[in-house]
Structure 1
Amino acid sequence: MHRRWIEWTPARTLFGIDLRTLALFRVLLGFYVLFDLLLRARDLTAHYTDQGIMPRAVQIDQLNSGSWSLHLANGPAFFQGLLFVIAALAAIGLILGWRTRLMTALSWVLLLSVQNRNIFILSGEDNLALLLMFWAMFLPLGARYSLDRALSRTPDYTDNAYFSVATLALLIQGMSMYFFSALLKTHPIWVSEGNAVYYALQLDYLVTPFSLWFRQFQGAMTGLTYYVYGLELIGPFLIFSPIFHRTFRTLIMVAFMTMHLAFCLFLEIGLFPYISIVMNLTFMPSWMWDAIAGRFFRKPSPAIILWYDKGCTFCEKTCRILRVFLLLPEATTRPAQEDPEIGAELTARNSWVVTIGDDRFFKAGGLIALLSASRVFRPLAMILSFAPFRRLGDRCYDLVGRHRSGFSRLTTRLLPWRERTVRIGLPTQVLAAVFLGFITVQNISTLPASPFSLPNAFINPRQALGLYQNWTMFAPYPEMNSPWPVIPGELEDGSQVDVYNGRIGPAVFQKPDVVSRVYANYRWRKFLSNLEDNSYEDGPQILALNYARFLCRNWSEEHPDLPALSTFKIYFQVEETPPPGGSKTPKPRLVWSHNCFG
């Protein structure tokens, strides 16, 4: 026992990733893209078209020379919506594991493209998601629980353990976010004072109602400050510890995930906790999957066989796909003609046959039997067992059966047999090693004591590939100002209006009960906070000008029966965070005056 405790874990285990973990990573990454697109689509016109806050001509001037975006090719909402739909289809293909490597590459291209369409609404969430999608292209994400796997006649990966330069890079990338973020937290409020969480939770424009209640507990906030800093600094080393590997990896992985779940309670930061948890789940080791398999399949099941009509490629592919996606690895698929009795019954009933032990099932009953055999999908079997659903299922089966030749032609095009799954070869791994060195140099260059700065020859490809890294989450210290917008204006007839909230009457400068709810969503919060930040700088106020023009257009579109908006002023109520025990007083700050006709 003592020797097991001190035994060193080999590097392949430390830096390898289970293929089932990569399948989970693929699915969760695909769902992230769908969630992200859905949230972005709420402001499709405002954020991504020439009629919004950032016309293409303006955005192009703000991009680095190496940056690019397909979304900048055209300005109407229809074109942007079309790219959103293509990105959603690619994400669905990624979730299903259909032509996985192609779908991953397409998802990365469109994710980078949409981010570069409006860089003033981006946050750390976008940076991390893009990096994870980049590394995903170097990994066999479709080796498990995928259409590629189901349709592969000669699967390449027979062992779940997988190690490559790309797995090393993905895991190091994830922990780099924490480690370099800790190194950038150089202000005394993190270590010597322990007040960083206090200052973070004083940012009323960013925090949740729960934070407004929680910040009365000064001692708890001090403890959380040291916990977050210590976890970010030490956690990345412990998670790769070769001794006590199981214990440390499990504890640190869970600690990071619970930290991000806590962020959901405290801060309005969009999908950042979700994508961070997805990143942490890449550390999920093989023994966890084995334990889950033991929990769900601990009892030996009767033999499960899916019998299909020989020569019907659609039938065979359907059986293979069901076996994979219903999580029935012990099931087998066979042509019914191999067994005379089964073959005769298939012909007589005009139905596939599912045998579980000595029991036989047909048409919709076969699907219900398979769902019942799968512990994950068993509840669905109970629903489909109701007589109306079962009769409907039989009719659908008969309908499909009458057109199976057409479905066979369709699946021949869309779901062709794969002689082998796509292996990740040596050239790809060499390229992954190059990019691993690339991001390491990038991260080191962000440190205050860095001995070098990055030349344009480095920056341009970095921007072109979306490999930018600068993990300044509350570093070197949290913001000290909390702003929210107030925009009073006048219509052509002299009526006073609240332009920001789109209503008649004077704008209210009084502090709302929950400041974070002033913002429509976290993308708008990011844009408006950038607008306020940039207003302190000398030079043209690009964000304020284009936001003001958008407000003029938007008022006319949303209030066609009212006089046109004439003039308005963009104020921000700004609260400076005092030291613990102090009080806050908002101060109005004028950042822009605008005449819609001038």
Structure 2
Amino acid sequence: MHRRWIEWTPARTLFGIDLRTLALFRVLLGFYVLFDLILRARDLTAHYTDQGIMPRAVQIDQLNSGSWSLHLAGGAAFFQSLLFVLAALAAIGLTLGWRTRLMTALSWGLLLSIQNRNTFILSGEDNLALLLMFWAMFLPLGARYSLDAALSRTRDYPDNAYFSVATVALLVQGMSMYFFSALLKTHPIWVPDGNAVYYALQLDYLVTPFSLWFRQFQDAMTGLTYYVYVLELIGPFLIFSPIFHRTFRGVIMVAFMSMHLAFFFFLEIGLFPYISIVMNLTFMPSWMWDAIAGRLYRRPLPAITLWYDQGCAFCEKTCHILRIFLLLPTAGIRPAQEDPEIGAELTARNSWVVTVGADRFFKAGGLIALLSASRVFRPLAVVLNLAPFLWLGDRCYDLIGRNRSGLSNLTAWLLPWRQRTVRIGLPTQVLAVFFLGFITVQNISTLPAGPQSLPDVFINTRQALGLYQNWTMFAPYPEMNSPWPVIPGKLKDGTQVDVYNSRVRPAVFQKPEVVSKVYANYRWRKFLSNLEDNSYRDGPQTLALNYARFLCRDWSERHSDLPALSTFKIYFQVEETPVPGGNKAPKPRLVWSHDCFG
């Protein structure tokens, strides 16, 4: 065998992460938080205020003693809105790489806080996102393609290769999700029967219209069952293989991402496919980036120089930021006064000067020239070069030019030069070692052969930091019941109404064509499925009671012109999954009766 195939890849390559990969991770993580906030904001009152389905007093009783949440400090929609805006601003700062470590810590804290505000609408997506954000605090996410990097006076991390305990922890964390999920899939439905995907796609309340069509192919579902199980069990080892490393890492990374793309088409599970793909992209190795750069810069960039007005700190910083974000690494940045001819032209035109080869560009034309030179943003230059945008761009440039002094003062506070190299120190790495062991113990404890209980101090620490691990995705086997709500009610004058759909007509028990569309979104689906699950237990039905009280208030707000809602009953049509080839027969289950005036 050729020698290069039997040489082992060193640990730094196996468990290191390219700084460009960390920059991509930062941007996609910031986007995730923004998407998540937008989706949550649709139900801000219903899910996060005292007028919703989970008043603070009720949620506090459900939390572990180590859990905390800033969102529990106030029950009004205005207070929650302020925290949402603060989280969005932190996510934007994270995305841009502005004060990156601070923004990462703020985003982590606010994400944990909002999750603890209403724990009955959470899923595996939330768990994984919080864990990724936790490990992000231990990594130099702002070392590349960030405002921090653009404004650094020092050359932080001259090499793209980065290795630390935190990179090991982040990569191991990602693969732990798959490996321990496979170990928890202990039922014969997975292996040897191969029917797990069949049962998963029979959950009408959870599947997409595409799944309703696809599940006619029994052989394909059997093959996918084995594929998912084997990939989750073996993939984590192959992705860290020291032999055939390039091949295995590329293939397994793509295999996991394709699996999550399939989840997107098959299941209504929110942003779980997105955040899982973000996690897999942390395995993107240096050679992939080098290959991309080789294609982008197959032809050398032209000689580009950005000439700014000496003494204008805002102007100089803008040039550095543009060079970083437009991916123009070889562009020069110089004071115009260094060249008498360029300096005179800058003064005469009251404009910065951008030179591309022998050509000179001014005002908005300078930005368009930079976009045209960029291999990535060239299409945007075509749009901005249209006459209306060019005119508007010149006017904006003149407005900014007239306020350079004020902008320089503002950027001195918001965007100061970084005068020293930022490093992740030894104490941070020691903490990373500790928490890597911590999550390993937590994962082992979820296995049937693991410890039956963990110390209270361990559990309180886990809850306080959001380090919960229990990867039971369709484990030990998929659910066997598919529920959807039907809530018939009566107004004070005796009119029959459909309370769930807030319509003045009798509720319909007949099965809808696409059951998953009965739910407003995946957060409501999670809450109502939790409500139905809890209704099988003895004791107080806290979820049903508070949901019923919310329905009374919600009806009054939506139908103030009608008689008040008087009574209603919360049913779930529950459809048990038959064995392959069997027939479904939904059965109504009454889980709660309510009197709005009782």
One-letter code of the match for 2:37? L
One-letter code of the match for 1:368? I
What is aligned with 1:210?
A: 210
- Alpha-carbon distance in structure 1 between the residues aligned to 2:351 and 2:501: 61
What is aligned with 2:190?
A: 190
- Alpha-carbon distance in structure 2 between the residues aligned to 1:488 and 1:422: 62
- Alpha-carbon distance in structure 2 between the residues aligned to 1:541 and 1:168: 44
1:558 aligns with 2:558: yes
SS in 1 for 2:198: helix
SS in 2 for 1:142: coil
What is aligned with 2:319?
A: 319
Number of corresponding residues: 598
- Alpha-carbon distance in structure 2 between the residues aligned to 1:391 and 1:221: 58
The 5 A counterparts of 1:495-534 are: 495-534=495-534
What is aligned with 1:296?
A: 296
Q: Deviations over 1:211-262 (max 9, x none)?
A: 1111111100000000000000000000000000000000000000000000
- 1:531·1:543 contact (CA, 8 Å) conserved in 2? yes
- CA positional deviation for 1:32: 0.2
Runs (5+) with no aligned partner, structure 2: none
- 1:149·1:421 contact (CA, 8 Å) conserved in 2? no
One-letter code of the match for 2:377? F
SS in 2 for 1:141: coil
1:274 aligns with 2:238: no
What is aligned with 1:174?
A: 174
What is aligned with 1:594?
A: 594
SS in 1 for 2:57: helix
- Alpha-carbon distance in structure 1 between the residues aligned to 2:421 and 2:39: 34
1:200 aligns with 2:187: no
- 1:169·1:436 contact (CA, 8 Å) conserved in 2? yes
Runs (5+) with no aligned partner, structure 1: none
One-letter code of the match for 1:431? L
- 1:143·1:421 contact (CA, 8 Å) conserved in 2? no
- CA positional deviation for 1:266: 0.6
- Alpha-carbon distance in structure 1 between the residues aligned to 2:422 and 2:533: 47
1:418 aligns with 2:379: no
1:219 aligns with 2:198: no
Task: Using structure 2 for the length normalisation, give the TM-score.
Answer: 0.99
The 5 A counterparts of 1:346-425 are: 346-425=346-425
- Alpha-carbon distance in structure 1 between the residues aligned to 2:7 and 2:362: 53
Q: Deviations over 1:530-579 (max 9, x none)?
A: 00000000110000000000000000000000000000000000011111
- CA positional deviation for 1:451: 3.7
Q: Deviations over 1:262-314 (max 9, x none)?
A: 00111000000000000000000001101111111111122111111111000
What is aligned with 1:158?
A: 158
1:470 aligns with 2:493: no
- 2:578·2:584 contact (CA, 8 Å) conserved in 1? yes
The 5 A counterparts of 1:102-121 are: 102-121=102-121
Q: Deviations over 1:505-539 (max 9, x none)?
A: 21100000100000000000000000000000011
- CA positional deviation for 1:375: 1.3
- CA positional deviation for 1:423: 1.3
- 2:178·2:232 contact (CA, 8 Å) conserved in 1? yes
- Alpha-carbon distance in structure 1 between the residues aligned to 2:427 and 2:525: 43
The 5 A counterparts of 1:437-516 are: 437-516=437-516
- CA positional deviation for 1:452: 4.7
Q: Deviations over 1:131-159 (max 9, x none)?
A: 00000000000000000000000022110
Q: Deviations over 1:105-147 (max 9, x none)?
A: 0000000000000000000000000000000000000000000
Bigger mean CA deviation after superposition, 370-379 or 329-338: 329-338
The 5 A counterparts of 1:140-155 are: 140-155=140-155
Bigger mean CA deviation after superposition, 573-582 or 448-457: 448-457
- 1:483·1:572 contact (CA, 8 Å) conserved in 2? yes
One-letter code of the match for 1:176? S
One-letter code of the match for 2:356? I
One-letter code of the match for 2:509? F
SS in 2 for 1:333: strand
- Alpha-carbon distance in structure 2 between the residues aligned to 1:301 and 1:269: 44
- 1:155·1:420 contact (CA, 8 Å) conserved in 2? no
- Alpha-carbon distance in structure 1 between the residues aligned to 2:383 and 2:575: 55
SS in 2 for 1:416: coil
One-letter code of the match for 1:283? F
- 1:496·1:504 contact (CA, 8 Å) conserved in 2? yes
> Aligned residues: percent identity?
88
Q: Deviations over 1:165-186 (max 9, x none)?
A: 0000000000000000000000
- Alpha-carbon distance in structure 1 between the residues aligned to 2:265 and 2:398: 50
- Alpha-carbon distance in structure 2 between the residues aligned to 1:392 and 1:505: 54
What is aligned with 2:343?
A: 343
1:30 aligns with 2:30: yes
One-letter code of the match for 1:465? L
One-letter code of the match for 1:364? A
SS in 1 for 2:142: helix
One-letter code of the match for 2:340? P
Bigger mean CA deviation after superposition, 298-307 or 51-60: 298-307
Aligned structure 1 segments of 4 or more residues deviating by more than 4 angstroms: none
What is aligned with 2:5?
A: 5
Q: Deviations over 1:301-335 (max 9, x none)?
A: 22111111111000000000000011111112111
* Cα 1:421–1:555 shift into 2, 3 Å: farther
Q: Deviations over 1:376-427 (max 9, x none)?
A: 1111111111122212211211111111001101111111111135311111
What is aligned with 2:548?
A: 548
* Cα 1:596–1:452 shift into 2, 3 Å: closer
Bigger mean CA deviation after superposition, 350-359 or 128-137: 350-359
What is aligned with 2:123?
A: 123
- Alpha-carbon distance in structure 2 between the residues aligned to 1:337 and 1:505: 77
- Alpha-carbon distance in structure 1 between the residues aligned to 2:272 and 2:451: 31
- Alpha-carbon distance in structure 2 between the residues aligned to 1:275 and 1:146: 21
Bigger mean CA deviation after superposition, 430-439 or 445-454: 445-454
What is aligned with 2:68?
A: 68
1:139 aligns with 2:139: yes
- Alpha-carbon distance in structure 1 between the residues aligned to 2:353 and 2:590: 74
- 1:15·1:167 contact (CA, 8 Å) conserved in 2? yes
- CA positional deviation for 1:360: 1.2
SS in 1 for 2:506: coil
- Alpha-carbon distance in structure 2 between the residues aligned to 1:504 and 1:392: 52
- Alpha-carbon distance in structure 1 between the residues aligned to 2:387 and 2:490: 64
- Alpha-carbon distance in structure 2 between the residues aligned to 1:237 and 1:561: 63
